[in-house]
């Protein structure tokens, strides 16, 4: 009897254990650890595209997305050309990229990337609210557009997760302080390094020794400022051509060191006036030496340069016309009454009074012909630019190297070809690098308005001399007579050349080399937050599954910027969008694994 009861008890216990096997645990109900994948969801495949130069970023993003419930496949490409090829072929779901706002204004940071049909919007983004806000902000002054860009960012990131912000970077350069005066070397957020302000510790070397600089790219896109907008030419053309305005180191528009004494925005933010100085003449090259051409850089050259800058068809391979598309009309003002009858934007002073501040003498006469210019006697030239809508940020674009002033007479004399039938094998355009390359092709026809002019180029370097007709006797006259830009193949070799004294300044020091520079007593590292932002964007074309906003938000919520800062030893900065370095909107991105899981669940629910 006892044996029967015991057997019955064992049977009941076994049934209880078996039944317990069908009871779900707390982890099974909730999805387990909050770091784990979504409830009852299989991993979502996601192909991550990037250049191998972004390998650190790729590894961080891959690990974060894998923890969130994504099956990450990598598509790493060796260079930018290959990256673009894969992007154009649609071989990605998420791509890591970078953007630097080289003009210092937020319109440049958003228009090409995020408006429908933008120059760099080739991934299928189209949102009418974003388009509207970009246009609205473009009409506003800096004190007005903060809230507009704040709303823009909210729609771009928080509401739709069109992009995933990763971080913002520092801009840096290293200086041999035994050779160069530290206070003569500027590090601007946007503007390229101004050579005219550089000076030697030993000032007696100004005319006998060159300033030695380096860059990795030996092939120069073009010495015509509107045909080049890349690392091979930006610093070079910035120092070869003067502009109507400049940018301060903090991206404020200034007339200091530019072709204009003053610039004034007319009431309504659609008319922009510039009073020109008369101490800048074009340089040219004779017998491989820089000489003063005697030709004044004047209003007719400004009108010519700005019209060709905004005209897509003014030259073959125009690289920068979209920057200047807001300009509707460029003209020379000859009626003083116009300046007196119009007020400065937001002020009670008229345009004439505003333009006259600090001039050598009051404006007595406005002239159209450069032969009649005489600032000391009160004869000035004023150029007016009218935009196709109110657009104060046009001034930032006018500070870009592509708005450099060229000689109307010289460019017209060289560019005699028909643009429509241009043949690069037989037609030689103004600024073609072959014209300054030593050998059979050498025929230097440059006429530069800036502080320096290229004399010649070979496989190893390009040599510049100061423009003898540039602001002579002023604080802006170049101090060092000769500049040599050496071609050094990569960043490590450039650093070695810098440390050994072969170059005097190293532009753009990699973060992992900061300590190496700082440990050398003869070197000095300059760094500051830049306008460069790394971010990821989704493939929204065709039937992409990432057209689903919940799936995009799952990715966005999974990315933790703190981990990027840790990997880069806090030498990166947090960012919310490409606008972050330019406008303090107060928006902050925070990773949220629980929300990532929630969005993944919503995505899977929608697939049922």
**pLDDT recorded at residue 332:** 98
Which of 163, 190, 185, 191 has its CA nearest to residue 173?
185
| Full DSSP string of 362-379 | ---EE-SSGGG-BGGGTE
Banded pLDDT at 322 (limits 50, 70, 90) = confident
Where do the H-state alpha helices sit in 47-167?
Answer: 55-68, 80-88, 106-114, 128-138, 146-153
DSSP string, 566-596: HHTTT-EE--SSTTTTT----------HHHH
> What sign results for the dihedral spanned by CA atoms 15, 19, 21, 26?
negative
For the stretch 237-274, pLDDT in tens is: 999 999 999 999 999 999 999 999 999 999 999 999 99
User: What are 435-446's pLDDT values in tens digits?
Assistant: 999 999 999 999
H or E, element range at 48: strand 44-51
In tens, the pLDDT along 194-209 reads 999 999 999 999 999 9
At residue 44's C-alpha, the angle toward residues 42 and 47, to 5°, is 150
User: Distance (Å, rounded) from C-alpha 42 to C-alpha 23?
Assistant: 21
Q: pLDDT tier at 424 (50, 70, 90 boundaries)?
A: confident
Mean pLDDT of 578-603: 96
Q: Which residues contact 117 (CB under 8 A, 6 or more apart)?
A: none
Average pLDDT on 71-83 reads 92
Which DSSP helix (H) or strand (E) runs through 406?
Answer: none
Instruction: Report the pLDDT value the prediction gives residue 471, as an integer from 0 to 100.
Output: 98
Q: Which residue has the higher pLDDT, 8 or 402?
A: 402
Q: What would the DSSP string read from start to end of 441-505?
A: T------B-SSEEEEEE-SSEEEEEE-TTBSTTSTTS-S-SEEEEEE-SSHHHHHHHHHTTSSSE
For the segment 35-51, the average pLDDT, to the nearest whole number, is: 76
Q: CB atoms < 10 A from the CB of 519, how many?
A: 8
Count of H-run helices and E-run strands, the chain: 18, 21
pLDDT over threshold 50, residue 228: yes
H/E segment holding residue 23? none
Query: Taking residues 290-306, what's their average pLDDT?
Result: 98
The stretch 332-353 carries a mean pLDDT of 96
Looking at domain 224-451, its CATH class is alpha beta
- What pLDDT is stored for residue 41 in this prediction? 58
Is pLDDT at 191 greater than 80 in this prediction? Answer: yes
Residues 145-159: what's their mean pLDDT? 98
- Bin 399: left if φ > 0, else alpha if -120 < ψ < 50, else beta: alpha
Q: What pLDDT digit, counting tens, does each position of 366-400 carry?
A: 999 999 999 999 999 999 999 999 999 999 999 99
In terms of C-beta density within 10 A (0-12 exposed, 13-18 middle, 19 or more buried), how is residue 69 classed? buried
Q: Which of 456, 444, 485, 450 is nearest to 468 (CA)?
A: 450
Which residue would you say has higher pLDDT here, 42 or 345?
345
* Displacement of CA 298 from its chain's centroid (Å): 29
Q: Look over the chain and give the mean of its residue pLDDT values, rounded to a whole number.
A: 92
Please check the confidence at residue 184 and state whether its pLDDT lies above 50: yes
Cα 56 to Cα 277: distance, rounded to the nearest angstrom: 49
- Under DSSP, the state recorded for 259 is S
User: What end-to-end distance do the CA atoms of the chain give, in Å?
Assistant: 57
Q: Any idea where the domains of the chain sit in the sequence?
A: 30-169+530-606, 224-451
Give yes or no for a contact between 323 and 400, defined as CB atoms under 8 angstroms apart: yes
Give the helix ranges, DSSP H, for 184-260.
234-240
- Helix ranges, 205-268 (H): 234-240
Please give the average per-residue pLDDT across 318-344, as a whole number.
Answer: 95
Summarised one tens digit per residue, pLDDT across range 468-486 is 999 999 999 999 999 999 9
Q: What percent of the chain has pLDDT over 70?
A: 93
pTM, two decimals, is 0.85
User: Would the pLDDT of 142 be above 90?
Assistant: no
- What average pLDDT does the segment 341-364 reach? 96
**Spatial contact of 478 and 452, defined as CB atoms under 8 Å apart:** yes
Mean pLDDT of 556-567: 97
Give pLDDT, residue 531.
95
- Compute the average pLDDT of residues 318-336: 94
Q: By the 8 A CB rule, do 397 and 327 touch?
A: no
The predicted pLDDT at position 22 comes to: 37
Residue 25, pLDDT > 80, answer: no
Per-residue model confidence (pLDDT) at position 80:
85
User: What average pLDDT score do residues 308-320 get?
Assistant: 93
pLDDT tens figures, 121-130: 999 999 999 9
The pLDDT of residue 17 is above 70? no
Let me know if the fold of 30-169+530-606 is the same as that of 224-451: no
From CA 97, how far away is CA 111, in angstroms rounded?
16
> Of 65, 126, 55, 63, which is closest to residue 96 (Cα–Cα)?
55
376 vs 489, residue with greater confidence: 376
13 has a pLDDT exceeding 70: no
CA–CA gap between residue 171 and residue 126 (Å, rounded): 32
Assign 522 a pLDDT band (cuts: 50, 70, 90): very high
Least confident of 147-151, 174-178, 318-322, 438-442: 318-322
pLDDT band for position 607 (50/70/90)? Answer: confident
Secondary structure letter of residue 407 according to DSSP: -
Query: Where does 30-169+530-606 sit in CATH, by number?
Result: 3.10.105
């Amino acid at each position: 009897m006892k044996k029967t009861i015991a057997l019955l008890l064992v049977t009941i216990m076994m049934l209880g254990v078996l039944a317990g096997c069908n009871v779900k645990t707390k982890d099974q109900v909730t999805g387990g650890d909050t770091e784990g994948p979504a409830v009852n969801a299989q991993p979502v495949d996601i192909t991550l595209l990037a250049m191998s130069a972004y390998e650190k970023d790729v590894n961080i993003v891959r690990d974060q997305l894998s923890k969130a419930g994504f099956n990450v496949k990598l598509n790493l490409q060796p260079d930018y050309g290959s990256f673009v090829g894969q992007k154009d072929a649609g071989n990605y779901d998420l791509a890591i990229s970078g953007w630097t706002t080289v003009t210092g204004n937020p319109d440049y940071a958003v228009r090409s990337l995020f408006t429908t049909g933008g120059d760099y919007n080739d991934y299928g983004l189209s949102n009418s609210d974003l388009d509207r806000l970009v246009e609205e902000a473009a009409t506003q002054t800096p004190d007005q557009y903060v809230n507009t860009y704040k709303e823009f960012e909210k729609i771009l990131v928080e509401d739709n997760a069109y992009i995933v912000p990763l971080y913002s970077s520092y801009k840096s350069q290293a200086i041999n302080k035994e050779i160069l005066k530290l206070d003569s070397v500027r590090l601007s957020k946007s503007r390229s390094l101004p050579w005219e302000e550089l000076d030697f510790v030993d000032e007696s070397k100004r005319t006998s020794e060159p300033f030695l600089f380096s860059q990795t790219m030996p092939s120069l896109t073009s010495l015509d400022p509107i045909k080049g907008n890349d690392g091979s030419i930006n610093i070079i053309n910035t120092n070869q051509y003067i502009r109507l305005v400049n940018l301060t180191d903090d991206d404020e528009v200034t007339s200091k060191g530019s072709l204009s004494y003053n610039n004034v925005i007319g009431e309504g933010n659609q008319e922009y006036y510039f009073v020109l100085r008369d101490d800048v003449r074009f340089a040219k090259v004779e017998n491989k030496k820089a000489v003063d051409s005697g030709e004044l850089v004047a209003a007719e050259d400004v009108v010519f340069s700005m019209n060709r800058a905004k005209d897509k068809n003014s030259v073959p391979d125009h690289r920068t016309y979209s920057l200047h598309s807001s300009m509707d009309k460029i003209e020379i003002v000859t009626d003083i009454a116009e300046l007196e009858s119009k007020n400065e934007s937001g002020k009670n002073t008229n345009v004439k009074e505003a333009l006259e501040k600090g001039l050598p003498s009051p404006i007595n006469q406005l002239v159209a012909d450069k032969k009649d210019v005489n600032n000391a006697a009160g004869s000035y030239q004023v150029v007016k630019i009218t935009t196709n809508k109110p657009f104060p940020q046009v001034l930032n674009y006018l500070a870009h190297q592509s708005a450099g002033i060229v000689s109307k007479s010289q460019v017209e004399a060289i560019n005699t070809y028909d643009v429509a039938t241009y043949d690069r094998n037989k037609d030689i355009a103004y600024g073609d690098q072959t014209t300054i390359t030593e050998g059979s092709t050498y025929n230097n026809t440059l006429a530069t308005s800036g502080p320096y002019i290229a004399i010649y180029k070979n496989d190893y370097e390009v040599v510049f001399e100061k423009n003898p007709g540039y602001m002579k006797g002023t604080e802006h006259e170049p101090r060092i007579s000769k500049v040599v830009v050496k071609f050094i193949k990569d960043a490590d070799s450039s650093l070695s050349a810098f440390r050994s004294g072969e170059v005097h300044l190293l532009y753009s020091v990699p973060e992992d080399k900061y300590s190496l520079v700082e440990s050398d007593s003869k070197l000095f590292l300059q760094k500051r937050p830049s306008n460069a932002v790394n971010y990821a964007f989704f493939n929204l074309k065709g039937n992409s599954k990432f057209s689903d906003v919940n799936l995009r938000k799952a990715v966005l919520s999974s990315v933790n910027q703190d981990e990027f800062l840790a990997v880069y030893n806090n030498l990166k900065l947090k960012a919310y969008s490409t606008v972050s370095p330019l406008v303090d909107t107060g928006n902050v991105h925070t990773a949220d694994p629980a929300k990532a899981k929630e969005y993944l669940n919503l995505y899977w629910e929608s697939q049922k």
